[in-house]
Amino acid sequence: MSNTENLSVIILAAGKGTRMNSSIPKVLHELAGKPLLRQVVDVAKSLNPRKICVVYGHGGEMVPKALDDDDALQFVLQEPQLGTGHAVQMAMPCLDGKGRTLVLYGDVPLIKPDTLHHLLESGAGLSLLTMELENPHGYGRIVRNDDGDIVGIVEEKDATEAQRGIREVNTGVLVCPTAQLKSWLSELKNENAQKEYYLTDIVGIAASEGEMIHSASPGRQWEVMGVNDKIQLAELERVFQMERAVELMRSGTSLADPSRFDLRGSLSCGRDVIIDVNCLFEGSVKLGSKVKIGANSVLKNVEVMDGAEIAPFCHIEDAVIGQNCRIGPYARIRPGTQLGEGVHIGNFVEVKNSRIAEKSKANHLSYVGDATVGKNVNIGAGTITCNYDGANKHRTIIEDDAFIGSDTQLIAPVTVGKGATIGAGSTIVRNTPEGGLTLSRAKQVHIEYWKRPVKKKD
Ligand code: UD1
Ligand code: CA
């Protein structure tokens, strides 16, 4: 059955999220660096639906604004919020009455496409995602007749003592033919403990019309766990991260501690990659084979080629690190950096928007910005490219085999010729020729009878 054909998705996201204690709407809080609602939208998209309609309310325009880069979404305001049934009703004009409609929740971020496929395949009519819980407290209970057929859902607050004993609960996720959903919603009443229009009441209505109601269950409980406060948010973040860590380890990556691993984007690893504790990967990160990432490093939109080692405490962003490079500890590699094979960047070195060709080294305390550095260049400790004149940025070019003595300032724009040696402590303001020694340093003098000042007595 091509079960996602003609599918529409409604995502409920109007709730207040009081317990988040925040001025940001609940569904915009982030999990793995992405708003909860975006996580759900991405899952919905994986089903290739014809429409995705997001029902928002609390937080007002902040919700559609946060996702306004996404043309696939339609937004509907639910104001006031009169219950889940009312919320779905608000979305109905978005849909054209065809096919089936799946209801998801903006604060239930970890639902898996597999589980949704399972639900979509469980029947052609109304299907509910349900699960058995040891402690069903707070959930709507699934009511079945003696034949085991679903005949309704009763909310905790409206349940009888006997019904509260039911352990099969409603996760809230359901799928239903759109035309029937429309007609059942029109029959909802708010005569219940919360004076709300319950979406769950369509189940009793459908059953009374003789409809067969199917159900499916999520693979894991956490797939249907909602976020109501920061504690639940942190719990689901850990679940998500452990899932990613396990995937990586299964495919051969070594993680020193999977519980101290964080991914906020995508990470691909070659063979025999080793990642130490407390590393954070953001955006798109590609690690080649035999790459080692030291503890407490942050990599964002980075490609690290085979055999490179990143020592602890490095921060690397929008950069390419060549094969067998040695970086850090305590290095900062900023956007636009490309390092060739075997480059060494040591402690407290900052590199920005620079190309450094193979086997060149900057091992200690340097700033290399807007520079083009050739092969086999040695950049001594404390060397700084003075790339900014207060208004504009200028390039520094250091040609192959140059040796830059420690504590040199290169006042850009400037070129150091091939094989040139720059004496330590120089301020280089003009291009230097190839080879030879260039230095700009005041002659050393010695004053033999000089006396240190002494402190005045009063
Ligand atoms: C709902 C279900 C319950 C189920 C539980 C699972 C109903 C009546 N009950 O209860 O059977 O066990 O979820 O968590 O559906 N929302 C809106 N607009 C509204 C009301 C809610 O968008 O007017 C959204 C909320 O933002 C939230 C979701 O719908 O994401 C669920 O609403 P909530 O009030 O938390 O429902 P529950 O009482 O938990
Ligand atoms: Ca809830």
Has residue 2 been placed in a domain?
A: no
Say yes or no: 180 and 257 in one domain: no
203 within ligand 1 shell (Cβ under 6 A): no
Beta bridge partners of 281: 263, 299
308 within ligand 1 shell (Cβ under 6 A): no
Say yes or no: 273 and 411 in one domain: yes
User: What pLDDT, on a 0 to 100 scale, did the predictor assign at position 5?
Assistant: 79
Mutate to test the pocket of ligand 1, among 53, 84, 108, 185 (most ligand atoms within 8 A of CB): 84
Say yes or no: 41 and 77 in one domain: yes
Asked if 364 is an active-site residue, the reply is yes
pLDDT tens digits for 298-356? Answer: 999 999 999 999 999 999 999 999 999 999 999 999 999 999 999 999 999 999 999 99
CA of 84 to the centre of ligand 1 (A): 5
135-151: average pLDDT = 97
User: What pLDDT, on a 0 to 100 scale, did the predictor assign at position 356?
Assistant: 99
393-403: average pLDDT = 98
pLDDT tens digits for 32-85? Answer: 999 999 999 999 999 999 999 999 998 889 999 999 999 999 999 999 999 999
- Pairing of β 34-35 and β 30-31: antiparallel
Q: Is the predicted pLDDT of residue 3 greater than 80, yes or no?
A: no
pLDDT tens digits for 181-230? Answer: 999 999 999 999 999 999 999 999 999 999 999 999 999 999 999 999 99
Ligand 1 atom closest to residue 140's alpha carbon, by position in its atom list = 11
Say yes or no: 83 and 200 in one domain: yes
Has residue 448 been placed in a domain?
A: no
Say yes or no: 52 and 199 in one domain: yes
Q: Is the predicted pLDDT of residue 1 greater than 60, yes or no?
A: no
Predicted TM-score (pTM) of the model is: 0.94
pLDDT tens digits for 343-397? Answer: 999 999 999 999 999 999 999 999 999 999 999 999 999 999 999 999 999 999 9
> 392 lies in which domain range?
251-438
Has residue 161 been placed in a domain?
A: yes
What's the CATH code of the domain at 266? 2.160.10.10
> CA-to-CA distance for 291 and 146, rounded, in angstroms?
60
User: What pLDDT, on a 0 to 100 scale, did the predictor assign at position 2?
Assistant: 46
Say yes or no: 423 and 385 in one domain: yes
Say yes or no: 21 and 157 in one domain: yes
Say yes or no: 164 and 291 in one domain: no
20 within ligand 1 shell (Cβ under 6 A): no
Has residue 456 been placed in a domain?
A: no
User: What pLDDT, on a 0 to 100 scale, did the predictor assign at position 97?
Assistant: 86
200 within ligand 1 shell (Cβ under 6 A): yes
Catalytic residue chosen out of the listed positions 29, 364, 394, 446: 364
Say yes or no: 154 and 197 in one domain: yes
Q: Domain tally for the chain?
A: 2
139 within ligand 1 shell (Cβ under 6 A): yes
pLDDT tens digits for 78-134? Answer: 999 999 999 999 999 999 888 999 999 999 999 999 999 999 999 999 999 999 999
| Tokens of residue 229, six digits | 């406060």
Ligand 1 atom closest to residue 199's alpha carbon, by position in its atom list = 15
CA of 272 to the centre of ligand 1 (A): 46
277-289: average pLDDT = 98
User: What pLDDT, on a 0 to 100 scale, did the predictor assign at position 219?
Assistant: 94
pLDDT tens digits for 155-191? Answer: 999 999 999 999 999 999 999 999 999 999 999 999 9
190 within ligand 1 shell (Cβ under 6 A): no
Percent of the chain scoring above 70 in pLDDT: 99
Has residue 242 been placed in a domain?
A: no
Has residue 230 been placed in a domain?
A: no
Say yes or no: 171 and 207 in one domain: yes
Has residue 83 been placed in a domain?
A: yes
Say yes or no: 260 and 167 in one domain: no
Say yes or no: 186 and 268 in one domain: no
Q: Model confidence at 261, in pLDDT bands (50, 70, 90)? A: very high
87 within ligand 1 shell (Cβ under 6 A): yes
CA of 416 to the centre of ligand 2 (A): 66
Has residue 232 been placed in a domain?
A: no
What's the CATH code of the domain at 119? 3.90.550.10
Nearest ligand for residue 136 CA:
1
